[in-house]
Structure 1
Amino acid sequence: MANLENRQKILAAAQGLFFKQGYHGTTLRDIGRDAHVSMGGIYHHFDSKEAIYLSLLETASQAFDFSGLLCLLTDAAFPHNLAEVGRFIAKAIRANKPFFKLSYVDILEFQGRHMRFTIDTLRHTIAQVTQGALQTQMASGRMRSLHPAIVTRVILDIYLHYFLEEAMLDKSLADQIGVSEDDLIGQMEQILLFGVMTPTAGDTAAAASPASFAARN
């Protein structure tokens, strides 16, 4: 019991220090001091500072369930359910802030060495599951002929970056401008689906001018 308790104290202290002063700015002695565990006690559980970081990252990753997002992206309504996608992303980020903070540590201090495979795998999976629905929309003429991977990347990144910034800085645009979060997410959906300009007669020709994805494939 004492050993397990010491391990948890080490992990909690390390996570707090990594978030406060960075991975490279934290030493094992700093972790031992804040955890009230000796250096020998640390080495009993972890052979290095990186092993502590990887244990934190693995635990946080296991707590983050992507299946709900994949369900929304494979729903027959996609991409007309983007508000639901946005709400899922907002909720997931708020519930998993340690995962995203640890991911930032990896990107900034390890050049993404530990997270790159996870991110690449997730993006590849998302591109695969959304491609069919997007190509169907394009074939019906309801969507411009664009590369499905670009469409999906833009959609998800807008929601991800907005809600990551909100969560990390604790600042809400919805609160600042006096609208509900549902209204904000709904307007983001409208921008993603229909753009910001009122269509005019000249827009059809302008929209068709880039070489289409379908024509290139």
Structure 2
Amino acid sequence: MGSGVVSKGERTRESILEGAYQLFLQQGYHGTSMRQIAEEAGIALGGIYNHFSGKEEIFTAVLEAYHPIHEIVPVIQASEGATIEEYVRNAAMGMMTALERQPGFLNLIFIEIVEFNSQHLPDLVDMTFPKVMSIVGPFAASQNKLKDIPLQSIVRSFIGLMFMQYFAEKLVGSKFVDMPLEEAFEQTLQIFLHGILAE
């Protein structure tokens, strides 16, 4: 809303999503009931159906609402650098910080994969892709310094590499890379910027 005022209905919807988010993380999707979600949100069970048709719709709304892309894009857009290398490094560090602020999202993805066989992921990609492509500006400004690769592919590779770096750190830590995580992060940046082939 333009005035910044949040309606009662919007507050109720947010309470439902917040309560469902916490319950899904603790109990999984199938282990969580609509009654539990209503109790967590502080509303009557019937009140949920004024906002959502059922539990699956709530889950997909939680996936979208708590996707870290909402924090990642503004952070990357605000990143600066005198060179493309400096910009990429600052953007990557900002992205990792933003991911750290949404630690539960990784668990949501596991729930999606295990309990839904990834059926909602294509729609999630459709939702996030326009936001991701909004960060092409700095890459476009330096296009004369880049290889002849479509900007969409460059941005997609950057986001994908940083996500995988974060997931690897959270899943297995330094054992996965057998080196300090800071060094692994720097090597990932070097691979993105310069590739793996010797000049």
SS in 1 for 2:122: coil
1:112 has 2:117 as partner: no
What pairs with 1:29-68 in structure 2 (closer than 5 Å)?
A: 29=35, 31=37, 39-40=45-46, 42-43=48-49, 48-50=54-56, 52-53=58-59, 56-57=62-63, 59-60=65-66, 64=71, 66-68=73-75
CA distance in 1, matches of 2:148, 2:180: 34
Identity of aligned residues (%): 22
1:125 has 2:128 as partner: no
SS in 2 for 1:66: helix
Q: CA RMSD in A?
A: 4.1
CA distance in 2, matches of 1:43, 1:11: 13
Query: Which residue does the alignment assign to 1:193?
Result: 193
Q: Which runs of 5+ in 2 are unaligned?
A: 1-10
Query: Which residue does the alignment assign to 1:86?
Result: 92
Whichever of the two has the greater Rg, that structure is 1
Could you tell which deviates more after superposition, 153-162 or 56-65?
56-65
Q: Mark the CA change 1:9 to 1:124 in structure 2 (over 3 Å): closer, same or farther.
A: closer
The 8 Å contact of residues 89 and 189 in structure 2, kept in 1 or not, is answered as: yes
Query: Which residue does the alignment assign to 1:202?
Result: none
1:70 has 2:80 as partner: no
Q: Which runs of 4+ in 1 moved over 4 A?
A: 5-13, 32-38, 41-47, 99-104
Q: Which runs of 5+ in 1 are unaligned?
A: 139-143, 200-217
How far apart are residue 59 of structure 1 and its match? 4.6
Give, as a single letter, the amino acid of the residue that structure 1 aligns with 2:100. Answer: R
SS in 2 for 1:126: coil
With CA pairs under 8 Å and 6+ residues apart, which has the higher RCO, 1 or 2? 1
How far apart are residue 158 of structure 1 and its match? 1.0
CA distance in 1, matches of 2:13, 2:150: 48
Q: Mark the CA change 1:33 to 1:70 in structure 2 (over 3 Å): closer, same or farther.
A: closer
CA distance in 2, matches of 1:176, 1:111: 28
Q: Mark the CA change 1:31 to 1:191 in structure 2 (over 3 Å): closer, same or farther.
A: same
How far apart are residue 173 of structure 1 and its match? 2.3
Tell me the TM-score normalized by structure 1: 0.61
The 8 Å contact of residues 73 and 135 in structure 2, kept in 1 or not, is answered as: no
How far apart are residue 92 of structure 1 and its match? 1.0
The 8 Å contact of residues 95 and 162 in structure 2, kept in 1 or not, is answered as: yes
Q: Mark the CA change 1:159 to 1:112 in structure 2 (over 3 Å): closer, same or farther.
A: same
How far apart are residue 93 of structure 1 and its match? 0.8
The 8 Å contact of residues 86 and 185 in structure 1, kept in 2 or not, is answered as: no
